[in-house]
Structure 1
Amino acid sequence: MNLPNLITLVRFVFIPLYLFVFFSDLPGHMYWAVGIILLAGLTDVLDGYLARKTKQITQLGIMLDPLADKLMMIAIFLSLLISGKISFWAAFAIFFRDFTMIVCSAIFHFRGKKTVPANIFGKLTTVLFYLTLFLLLFDLPNAETFLWSVIVLSYITSLIYMLQLKTVNGRMMQ
């Protein structure tokens, strides 16, 4: 287990911690929840940077990194749905996309197929989802409209990712 993968594993701990804080009665709990989200985002950047810098990119890391991202996003959007900050349909669109991506990636991995690291569109989508989260968490105007535009972008990004998977694995078959 290398350091970048260990940092990725720590990100999984932030998921229940975020949920506990979000739904707690702690003073300033929303600020603490945002702090946990930021910490998860920073460790995401750190593990990617370290993996590239030290040439420790592994298939395990390629699979776990987006899984940690997606599970954190699912937890956050679930909390927003339960608290009434987003509509059922917005949550459904996000959950459906993320669940499908997790299942497809797992199938590819366990069948011995290559997975591909996040591309620039995936990274941009993640950044925009984080921006959307802050708009939603603090009930800022037009937050749900912005959310829907990011959801559309996320589906386009997923299509690009699937095409990359097909290309990489198509080459492996030849």
Structure 2
Amino acid sequence: MINVPNILTIFRFFLVPTYLIVYFSDAPSKLYWSVAIILLAGITDVVDGYLARRYNLITEIGSLLDPLADKLMIIAVFLSLLITHKISLWAAFAVFLRDISMILYSTLFHLKGKKTIPANVMGKLTTVLFYVALFALLFSVTGAQTFLWFVIGLSYLTTLIYFVLIRSANKNDSP
């Protein structure tokens, strides 16, 4: 079902290539424009979640696409940081492995007609902390690498909790 929250989520998908184009451009203030695009993605994420909950506009497709849009933006930013040597290959691999497995797992469950669950508080906190780490890395803040590894560890714990919750939500269904 197409509604305002879902339109905002779809808009976030378009922000992913926009970010990459701007980040790798020769524009004079490309770093600031890149950060503005990331912030716009974050703001639209908050707004679409608020509208969906406030006006009971939560849809199955929105529950699937919303975290996918978040993960694709994070993957794009991490990819840009890897290419520009602001993060190590190991950090990028850890993030890509986690996000790609979550995308595949959620998609598989959705395609099998199983229940998916919206992000919980831990998932939202992890996303916010990833953005803090990304901004710190983009602006080369001291300690950003250490903070990133803390967030990566937290993200794996959050992922484990998500997998347990989604399996629990589907425990009465056939495997």
Structure 1 unaligned segments of length 5 or more: list them.
Answer: none
User: Secondary structure in 1 aligned to 2:99?
Assistant: helix
Structure 1 position 172, deviation (Å): 4.5
2:107 matched residue in structure 1: 106
Structure 1 position 128, deviation (Å): 0.3
CA RMSD of aligned residues (A): 0.7
Structure 1 position 171, deviation (Å): 3.9
Residues 31-90 of structure 1: CA distance to partner in whole angstroms, max 9, x if unpaired?
Answer: 000000000000000000000111010000000000000000000000000000000000
Instruction: Give the aligned residue type for 2:87.
Output: I
1:137 matched residue in structure 2: 138
Equivalent-residue separation in structure 2 for 1:126 and 1:103 (angstroms): 18
1:55 matched residue in structure 2: 56
Residues 121-161 of structure 1: CA distance to partner in whole angstroms, max 9, x if unpaired?
Answer: 00000000000011000011011110000000000000000
2:160 matched residue in structure 1: 159
2:89 matched residue in structure 1: 88
1:25 matched residue in structure 2: 26
Equivalent-residue separation in structure 2 for 1:159 and 1:122 (angstroms): 11
Equivalent-residue separation in structure 1 for 2:167 and 2:41 (angstroms): 30
Task: Spell out structure 1 runs of 4+ moving beyond 2 A.
Answer: none
User: Secondary structure in 2 aligned to 1:27?
Assistant: coil
1:123 matched residue in structure 2: 124
User: Secondary structure in 2 aligned to 1:13?
Assistant: helix
Structure 2 unaligned segments of length 5 or more: list them.
Answer: none
Instruction: Give the aligned residue type for 1:146.
Output: F
